Amino acid sequence: MEKLVERIEYLENLKKWREKDVIKVVTGVRRSGKSTLFNLYIAYLKSIGVNENQIIHINLEDVEFEQLHHYKALHKYIVSKLAKNQWTYVFIDEVQTCIDFEKAIDGLYVKKNVDVHITGSNAFMLSGELATLLSGRYVEIKMLPFSFTEFSQISKEADKRKRFYDYLNFGSFPIVSTIYHDIEQHDQYLEGVYNTILLKDIATRNHIHDITLLKNIIKFLCSNVGSRVSTANITKTLAKSGRKITQKTVDSYVKALTDCYLFYFVERYNIKGKNLLKTLGKYYIVDTGLRNHLLMAENLDIGHQIENVVFLELLRRGYRVNIGKLDDSEIDFVASKTNTKAYYQVSASVLDEKVLQRELSPLRRTKDEYPKFLLTLDDFEGNHEGIQQVNLIDWLWREQ
């Protein structure tokens, strides 16, 4: 029987909000494990005595439920199945498939003893009428593909360093951890995920007809992960290749790519001025394996790839992440939580003394007492006058 990774942090988050007066909204890129999370939580509910008739689970992308693609039909169907004088746990996958779904969700929310959980693969669902109707009445659980620790629970590679490079090169989508040794199967799977995201979550939802242009922008962002990027720069690059397009169009395409959680935009933070800078942020992709697949290369630009992995890991650990600007230098990540902060520099290797000093310099120039880390793939770990140098693979592995 195939081993199932429990996604403990996400599962505990759902447990924490059980029967609380909020709608649980699980968001994340397609195939990141949102439906599996619901299955894990349903199994937990049954293990503590919740009856089958108290659970309603609907996947709106399943043809079995296509008659529920209008809010009135969805609402009527669920209301007809509510348990009497008991809590009913409602789970709706890919809720944005339903026309005016927010009206159905709002109607369920006001009913007594109904605990509503929904998933979606597009941030648009939380930027429109749902957010307006349910302001202050929902919590968002942001889901990502596997962490390195979760990947390691499935991978059969015993050597931790080799396993990390598998994770980096082949990716973190849950199914990938079971199939990546079969290169043809792996590539077919990632191509299928990519095409589904491209067509269902981006082109159709945003009425985009120029798929070639969309793919060109995706390739550009993939090639420039971890580099400063502006839509003006993308527009100029496309113009040089013969594509005449307005910056406004590029803006809308890039927004669609971040709305579907394929890319994340990270703003720069002025450490001295303590304010966000609106220009020349960076983009990171949700999965390095998908990036390698689209660019048709492994071990491509290792420095930016591990930077991408660190960014995603900081998100998993609940940080708000920015790029740190300090005069004319940069700190890769300023990671903030309530009343705390940490600084991170990421480098493949600092065995060269000049590289080491270059990476340490901006960290030394920060004047506060928040923790400072230098993450590398070197086996050496140490302390540079309060700056902790840590092996990146060990840092990832220690997450649980």
Q: Where are the domains of the chain?
A: 8-142, 148-397
Kindly tell me if the per-residue pLDDT of 271 is higher than 90.
no
Pick 124 or 34 by higher pLDDT. 34
- pLDDT tens figures, 287-312: 999 999 999 875 578 999 999 999 99
Encoded tokens for 104:
């159905």
- CB-CB neighbours of 172 under 10 Å: 23
Give the C-alpha separation, 29 to 304, whole Å: 21
Q: How far apart are the first and last CA of the chain?
A: 25
b or e along 96-125 (b: 16 or more beta carbons within 10 Å of the residue's beta carbon)?
bbbeebbbbbbbbbeeeebbbbbbbbbbbb
pLDDT digits (tens, 9 = 90+) for 160-194: 999 999 999 999 999 999 999 999 999 999 999 99
pLDDT band at 348 (very low <50, low <70, confident <90, very high): very high
- The β-bridge relationship of strands 114-120 and 88-93 is parallel
Residue 99 DSSP symbol: B
pLDDT for 243 equals 86
Tell me what pLDDT residue 388 has: 97
CA angle 207–234–237, rounded 5-degree value:
120
pLDDT at position 299: 56
Of all residues in the chain, the percent with pLDDT exceeding 90 is: 80
Report which of residues 398 and 16 the model is more confident about: 16
pLDDT digits (tens, 9 = 90+) for 59-89: 999 999 999 999 999 999 999 999 999 999 9
pLDDT bucket at 278, cuts 50 / 70 / 90: confident
**What residue type is assigned to position 332 of the chain?**
D
Q: How far apart are CA 201 and CA 32, in angstroms?
A: 14
pLDDT band at 399 (very low <50, low <70, confident <90, very high): very low
What pLDDT sits at residue 383?
A: 95
Output the pLDDT for position 297.
72
pLDDT of residue 298: 57
Sheet hosting strand 275-285, strand order edge to edge: 275-285, 263-270, 320-326, 329-337, 340-347, 372-376, 387-391, 382-384
Q: Which of 67-76, 96-105, 205-214, 290-299 has the highest mean pLDDT?
A: 67-76
Taking the C-alpha atoms of residue 148 and residue 166, their distance in angstroms, rounded to an integer, is 10
Q: Which of the residue ranges 63-72, 127-136, 181-190, 238-247 would you say has the lowest mean pLDDT? A: 127-136
- Which contacts (CB < 8 Å, 24+ apart) does range 359-365 have? 360/384, 360/387, 361/329, 362/324, 362/326, 362/329, 362/330, 362/331, 363/331, 363/387, 365/326, 365/327, 365/329
Pairing mode, if any, of strands 263-270 and 88-93?
A: unpaired
Residue range 376-388, pLDDT digits in tens: 999 989 999 999 9
> What is the DSSP annotation of 55-70?
EEEEETTSGGGGGG-B
- Taking the alpha carbons of 49, 54, 59, 63 in that order, is the dihedral positive or negative? positive
pLDDT value of position 1: 39
pLDDT at 335: 97
Averaged pLDDT of the chain:
92
Mean of the pLDDT values across residues 249-255?
95
Determine how β-strand 114-120 pairs with β-strand 263-270: unpaired
pLDDT of residue 398: 61
Is residue 125 scored above 80 in pLDDT? no
Q: What is the CA radius of gyration of the chain?
A: 22
* C-alpha separations of 241 from 219, 235, 237, 244, 309 in Å: 13, 10, 7, 9, 31
pLDDT digit string (tens) for 215-224?
A: 999 999 999 9
**Helices (H), ranges, the chain:** 8-16, 34-47, 71-80, 101-109, 129-133, 148-154, 160-170, 176-179, 183-196, 205-206, 211-223, 231-240, 247-259, 288-295, 302-316, 353-364, 392-397
| pLDDT surpassing 50 at residue 341 | yes
* Residues 310, 384: Cα–Cα separation, whole Å: 21
Pick the CATH number of 8-142 from 1.10.620.20, 3.40.50.1980, 3.40.50.300, 2.20.25.10: 3.40.50.300
Q: Confidence band (pLDDT; 50, 70, 90) for 400?
A: very low
Task: Summarize the confidence of residues 329-342 as an average pLDDT.
Answer: 94
